């Protein structure tokens, strides 16, 4: 690793054992092996307002009831909350599903072409993520700061109340047609949001199929058109006061055919991670460009969800019929050789990891395990990642080549490579 002032050119690689620097200096750690940068500077701590965690993710889809049922059957979610005609919602049906701290809300129209924005969104983008909601504290301070810096506020602060209290919310526009709802729950004790009622139907799949063990959202990835990633990064830094956490360039994230660049931004407490990707020039179309083409612009490409036992989680997801990318056998031959020279000992059984097609990325301090589903719909525009961390806060940079090759195999089948 190399310690470099952010405003300076990179020096010749120099290995260091400890990292000490003045609080007024801004530094980044550069991995010379992977062209990867881990940023140590959080910037100035916001004087008011705090981002706490991911709150929920809202999908706009053609049939919310069926989309929710699919996630219950394949991914092990449970029916949670509902809003529709029976609750007085005349335009939208909303089906919320839950697994531990992960809440997905699937929404669809109840009348032709209404709401018009949703009709346009589904026509252009297909089923996809419309909104990533963050739980916040001191909502007014966050919105005021964002406004002062030029952020587009789609809906100013409003309140919704029921017998459990009052929730305060606001909506800001981020990349593409994607939004962030900022949710202040400090005066609310209900299970989700006012206007929703608990689902009383007991789906037999929730007891008849094996439990999955997904815990919470780890990160959410947004794909950008070529040369638009920096604009998205700037938006988070400027309007939400996020900072850079990690980045990697196309010198590492490439195969024979395609490449990408990625920068991860995060809040001051580093509890919300938002990787932003863009395609880089290659011999053929990258997975990022494929997404942009089929989605019709920037949008959420995948959601990574944490587990504490990836072997059990993936075994049970496969038992439910969930499909995952297939990794070449050569990956595991190389992996075993590389682990022989590593300071890290992987606790999980490598034969099981290979059988399940799980990927491992590691450094001298720890490792992570990750796996990616196949696309969740006909348009190649949304998939999920399951991730388990062992003292490793990266994003699988060491696996990107194998992952790209697996995705390219699927792209080739679709005629899009």
**What is the CB neighbour count within 10 angstroms for residue 112?**
6
Structure confidence at residue 292 (pLDDT): 95
- The dotted CATH code for 214-414 is 3.10.180.10
Which pTM was predicted?
Answer: 0.88
CA-wise closest residue to 274 among 395, 415, 149: 395
CA-wise closest residue to 317 among 305, 328, 327: 305
Structure confidence at residue 261 (pLDDT): 86
Sequence-distant (6+) residues with CB within 8 A of 143 are 153, 156, 157, 170, 172, 182
Q: Is the previous residue joined to 297 through a cis bond, with omega within 30 degrees of 0?
A: no
Structure tokens, 335: 């992996």
Structure confidence at residue 394 (pLDDT): 83
Does 385 belong to an annotated binding site?
yes
Give ranges for CATH 3.10.180.10 in the chain. 50-208, 214-414
Q: Where are the beta strands (DSSP E) in 356-396?
A: 359-362, 367-372, 383-390
Q: Which fold has domain 50-208?
A: 2,3-Dihydroxybiphenyl 1,2-Dioxygenase; domain 1 (3.10.180)
* Per-residue pLDDT tens digits of the chain, which is 417 residues long: 333 434 333 333 222 222 222 333 344 444 434 456 777 889 889 998 999 999 999 999 999 999 999 999 999 999 999 999 999 999 999 999 999 999 999 999 999 999 999 999 999 999 999 999 999 999 999 999 999 999 999 999 999 999 999 999 999 999 999 999 999 999 999 999 999 999 999 889 888 999 999 999 999 999 999 999 999 999 999 999 999 998 887 555 455 555 778 999 999 999 999 999 998 776 567 788 999 999 999 999 999 999 999 999 999 999 999 999 998 888 898 899 889 988 999 999 999 999 999 999 998 889 999 999 999 999 999 999 999 999 998 876 666 666 556 656 666 676 765
Structure confidence at residue 203 (pLDDT): 87
């Amino acid at each position: 690793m190399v310690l470099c002032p952010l405003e300076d050119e990179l020096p010749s690689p120099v290995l260091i054992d400890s990292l000490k620097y003045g609080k007024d200096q801004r530094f980044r750690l550069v991995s010379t092996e992977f062209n990867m940068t881990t940023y140590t500077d959080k910037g100035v701590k916001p004087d008011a307002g705090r981002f706490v965690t991911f709150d929920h993710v809202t999908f706009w889809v053609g049939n919310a009831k069926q989309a929710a049922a699919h996630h219950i059957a394949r991914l092990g979610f449970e029916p949670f909350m509902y809003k529709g005609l029976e609750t007085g919602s005349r335009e939208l049906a909303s089906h919320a599903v839950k697994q531990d701290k992960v809440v997905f809300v699937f929404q669809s129209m109840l009348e032709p072409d209404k709401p018009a924005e949703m009709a346009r969104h589904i026509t252009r983008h297909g089923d996809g993520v419309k909104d990533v909601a963050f739980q916040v504290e001191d909502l007014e301070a966050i919105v005021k700061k964002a406004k002062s810096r030029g952020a587009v506020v789609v809906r100013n602060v409003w309140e919704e109340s029921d017998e459990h209290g009052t929730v305060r919310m606001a909506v800001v526009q981020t990349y593409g047609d994607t939004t962030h709802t900022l949710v202040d729950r400090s005066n609310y004790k209900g299970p989700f949001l006012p206007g929703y009622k608990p689902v009383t139907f007991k789906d037999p799949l929730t007891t008849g199929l094996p439990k999955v063990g997904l815990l919470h959202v780890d990160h959410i990835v947004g794909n950008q058109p070529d040369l638009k990633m920096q604009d998205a990064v700037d938006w988070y830094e400027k309007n939400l006061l996020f900072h850079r956490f990690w980045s990697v360039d196309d010198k590492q994230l490439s195969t024979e055919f395609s490449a990408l660049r990625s920068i991860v931004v995060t809040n001051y407490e580093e509890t919300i991670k938002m990787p932003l990707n863009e395609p880089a020039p290659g011999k053929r179309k990258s997975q990022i460009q494929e997404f942009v083409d089929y989605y019709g612009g920037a949008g959420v490409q995948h959601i990574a969800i944490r587990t504490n036992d990836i072997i059990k989680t993936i075994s049970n997801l496969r038992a439910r019929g969930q499909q995952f990318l297939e990794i070449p056998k050569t990956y595991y031959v190389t992996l075993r050789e590389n682990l022989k020279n590593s300071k890290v000992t992987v606790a999980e059984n490598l034969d099981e990891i290979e059988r399940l097609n799980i990927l491992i990325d590691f450094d001298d301090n720890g490792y992570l395990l990750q796996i990616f589903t196949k696309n969740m719909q006909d348009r190649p525009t949304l998939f999920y990642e399951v991730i388990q961390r062992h003292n490793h806060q990266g994003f699988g940079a060491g696996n990107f080549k194998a992952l790209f090759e697996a995705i390219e195999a699927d792209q080739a089948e679709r005629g899009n490579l």
